[in-house]
């Protein structure tokens, strides 16, 4: 009797493994996304003044030309990519800083805003949003 149950268990396990292998094979042939998916989120400070919102985003090593800042539906969206610094033939000894594409969406306080200024300097992106009446 014990052999019968162990045979059923082995058969069920084999079927489960085959199903898993088929799902992996189907995923292998799926087309890759057009844009790499965001892999990290930078830290953000939001400070409100009487006539503006000041947003500071930590972006060390990010090229200013590749930063996209969009204002829509009560949120500020910042996206870009921080390239991986390792060159061919190098050995990574420690890797703590995030790399790759990032996207950060920051909910804004109620109100109407207009993008007044966006500057990336010394690894900090400074965004000024003016309040509209």
Residue spans per domain, the chain: 1-30, 44-132
pLDDT at 27: 61
What integer pLDDT is reported at residue 2 of this predicted model?
54
Predicted confidence (pLDDT) per residue in 66-124, tens digit: 999 999 888 999 999 998 877 788 888 888 888 889 999 999 999 999 999 999 999 99
Strand partners, 126: 56, 119
Q: From CA 52, how far away is CA 44, in angstroms rounded?
A: 16
Helix (H/G/I), strand (E/B), else coil: 92: coil
Categorize the per-residue pLDDT at 3 as very low, low, confident or very high, splitting at 50, 70 and 90: low
Rounded CA-CA distance 59/63 in Å is 9
Check the CA dihedral 19-25-30-36 and report its sign: positive
CATH no. for 44-132: 2.60.40.790
Per-residue pLDDT tens for 14-52?
888 887 777 766 665 555 556 667 778 999 999 999 999
Q: What pLDDT sits at residue 8?
A: 72
What distance in Å separates the CA atoms of residue 51 and residue 73, rounded to the nearest whole number? 19
Cβ atoms of residues 117 and 95 within 8 Å = no
Integer Cα distance of 21 and 19 in angstroms: 5
**Apex CA 58: angle with CA 56 and CA 64, to 5°?**
90
pLDDT score at 87 = 79
Contact predicate 112/91, CB 8 Å:
no
């Amino acid at each position: 009797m014990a052999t019968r149950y162990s045979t059923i268990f082995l058969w069920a396990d084999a079927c489960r493994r085959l199903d898993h292998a088929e799902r992996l094979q189907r995923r292998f042939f799926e087309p890759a996304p057009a844009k790499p998916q965001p892999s990290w989120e930078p830290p953000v400070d939001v400070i409100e003044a009487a006539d503006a919102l000041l947003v500071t985003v930590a972006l060390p090593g990010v090229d200013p030309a590749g930063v996209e800042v969009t204002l829509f539906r009560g949120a500020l969206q910042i996206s870009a990519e921080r390239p991986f610094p390792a060159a061919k033939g190098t050995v990574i000894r420690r890797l703590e800083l995030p790399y790759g594409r990032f996207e950060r969406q920051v909910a804004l306080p109620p109100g109407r805003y207009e993008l007044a200024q966006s500057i990336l300097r010394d690894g900090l992106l400074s965004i000024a949003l003016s309040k509209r009446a």
